[in-house]
Amino acid sequence: MTHSTDLIASRMRWTRRGVLAAALAAGIALPGAALAQQKSVTIALTADAVILDPHAANELSGNIMFYHLYDPLVQRTADLKFEPGLAESWQVVDDTTWVFKLRKGVKFHNGEELKASDVVFTVERLKKALMASLVANIASARAIDDYTVEFKTPKPYAVLHMALAEILIVNEKYAKSVGDEQMGLKPMGTGPYKLAEWVKEDRIALDAFADHWRGKPRIDKVTFKPITNPATRTASLLTGGVDVIQDLSVRDVASVQANNNFKVITRPSLLNLVIAIDTRDKSPTIDLPVNPMKDRRVREAIVRAINVDAIRTVVMNGFSTPSDQYVPSSHLGYVPGLDFRKEYPFDLEKARALMKEAGFEKGFTMTLDTTNNRYVNDGAIAQALAGMLSRIGITLNLNLMPRSNFFGYIRVPSDKSSFIMSGWDTPSGDAGNMYSVLMYSRNKKQGYGQANRGSYSNPTFDEWIDKADATADMKKRNEFLQEATKIAVKDIPMIPVHYEQDIYAAKNSVTVVPRMDKFIWAYEMDVK
């Protein structure tokens, strides 16, 4: 018979207190006390994981599990710094060769030791998997000895170590013996927790892995419960069913904050909501001989007509952070001091003047393509945008669709779209990935511009990206990407709107470390 963990936990807490009190009263030592000190935490997520194979999926709940069960060579910290993980050190040998030294004595959950061959196998497995894009920057991996791996990159890539934070190392023997289907059900890695039980849509229970190379986790048992409905999530927290909840609903923030037993934790996420502007000669949804947005002045007018602060206060209830650039300040390529909002503050007069100057005083009509179930309040934001742009004469028709249709619909060559709002996050900590995919000229180079939905093309911008991708020096890469950022902010190929805010709520007794990448990690948490 299995009991739900929280129930056991609450009972145990109760009995422990009772037993301890009795023991104190009697003045005797209690040999079982150390055993009873087991810490446990129950966390409510918005959804269940679908598959526990880190090479076969990319969705938030799954990612959260992956980092409990597996480890990468390089670890990403809560505030997006990078530190040694399974690799204790690395060096860049030449422009395209990196050598990583593995930590010795790292144990998999089945007791086997991590060897360089496991890393090589992981890269090769990924190349054939659904998440092949994770290893796009690795040409080959080779084991030099049991604890040394050599990576070759197809071109100089100064941030390979940062990209490696997303590659989770699996055990070669285990993966080969159980096969792909079982890898999705019975994960086995080097991570701080091992899978105890997975009851689909009900709970994923993890046990601390005592032999973890960082040391045993503070919390012995972690249970994740998928609770999709936001109100039910809040209710579960308030009734003690769970200790921590992900995505506290905005309308519940005040009531949870008012309760002394709970706390609310927020942090800006990495997800930047951006609007791609069509810059082709003729735009699919604009019934004019030329595309007005080819003219930079029109693009600037649009930016100035959008009141991001109003979106923040009215649509987002204050839970968003207006974006100053395309990537957050933690990233390579961020230019300190440069702020899109200061560059182009909300100014209707100026916007109208710019429209007039460009010869579009009467405005024009176009369509905004976006989702209605993918980003926080996406539909409401679209409506706000339509209202704002109408004030400079632009009639914005809304084409809202569920995400199952959206990503195929807007896909490059984007021949049905003029104005697309979507989110972009770069957990790799580097603007280069975003720029080369979203803003580099289309069809110029393989692997570049594949999501350049507005057909933006500026040879100077491309040049800086080329330079960044031709150096193995991180400092230089940063400088080159900063130049690219300056050009993009001037050219406005896309409008950065805001970063969504992650909101968690927890019992006061639980220490929660909100992570920039949203991947709740019990290893960093504690329970009083």
Partner 1 sequence: MFGYLIKRLIQMIVVLWVVSVLVFVMMSFTGDPTYMMVPLDATEEQIAQARRLLGLDESHLVQYWRFLLNVLQGDFGRSFVFRQPALQLILERLPATLEIVFLAMVIALVVAIPLGVYAGANPGRPLSRAVMAGSLVGISLPGFWVGMVLIFVFAVRFQFFPSSGRGPTTELFGLRVSFTSWEGFRHLILPAITLSIGTLAILMRIIRAEMMEVMKQDYIKFARAKGAAQKGVLFKHGLKNALIPLVTVFGLMLGDLIAFATLTETIFAWPGIGKLLVDSIYRGDRPVIVVYLMFVAFMFVVVNFVVDVLYALIDPRIKIK
Distance in Å, CB of 51 to partner 1, minimum: 6
Nearer to partner 1, 22 or 199 (CB): 199
Between CA 134 and CA 162 the distance in angstroms is 11
Distance in Å, CB of 6 to partner 1, minimum: 9
Nearer to partner 1, 50 or 210 (CB): 50
Instruction: Name the nearest CA neighbour of 166 among 142, 191, 133.
Output: 133
Q: Are 332 and 431 in contact (CB under 8 A)?
A: yes
- Token pair belonging to 145: 């000895």
- Token pair belonging to 88: 């204790």
Between CA 157 and CA 137 the distance in angstroms is 7
User: What Å distances lie between residue 213 and 86, 169, 210, 515, CA to CA?
Assistant: 9, 14, 9, 22
Distance in Å, CB of 36 to partner 1, minimum: 21
Please provide the size of the chain in residues. 528
Nearer to partner 1, 261 or 404 (CB): 404
Nearer to partner 1, 58 or 317 (CB): 58
Nearer to partner 1, 89 or 232 (CB): 232
Distance in Å, CB of 468 to partner 1, minimum: 16
Nearer to partner 1, 49 or 384 (CB): 49
Nearer to partner 1, 110 or 443 (CB): 443
Owner of token pair 């104190």? 24
Q: Which residues bind partner 1 (CB under 8 A)?
A: 1-4, 7, 47, 50-51, 53, 56-58, 128-133, 136, 180-181, 184-185, 199-203, 225-229, 231-232, 235-236, 238-239, 241, 373, 402-409, 411, 422, 424, 433, 437, 446-447, 450-451
Strand order in the sheet with 97-102: 87-94, 97-102, 148-152, 140-145
Distance in Å, CB of 371 to partner 1, minimum: 11
Instruction: Name the nearest CA neighbour of 70 among 58, 82, 55, 84.
Output: 55
Nearer to partner 1, 307 or 428 (CB): 428
Distance in Å, CB of 219 to partner 1, minimum: 20
Q: Are 483 and 168 in contact (CB under 8 A)?
A: no
Query: How many whole angstroms from its chain centre is CA 292?
Result: 34
- Token pair belonging to 68: 């409990």
Distance in Å, CB of 10 to partner 1, minimum: 11
Distance in Å, CB of 223 to partner 1, minimum: 10
Q: Which residues of 467-487 are buried (b: 16+ CB within 10 A; e: fewer)?
A: bbbebbeeeebbbbbbbbbeb
Between CA 375 and CA 299 the distance in angstroms is 24
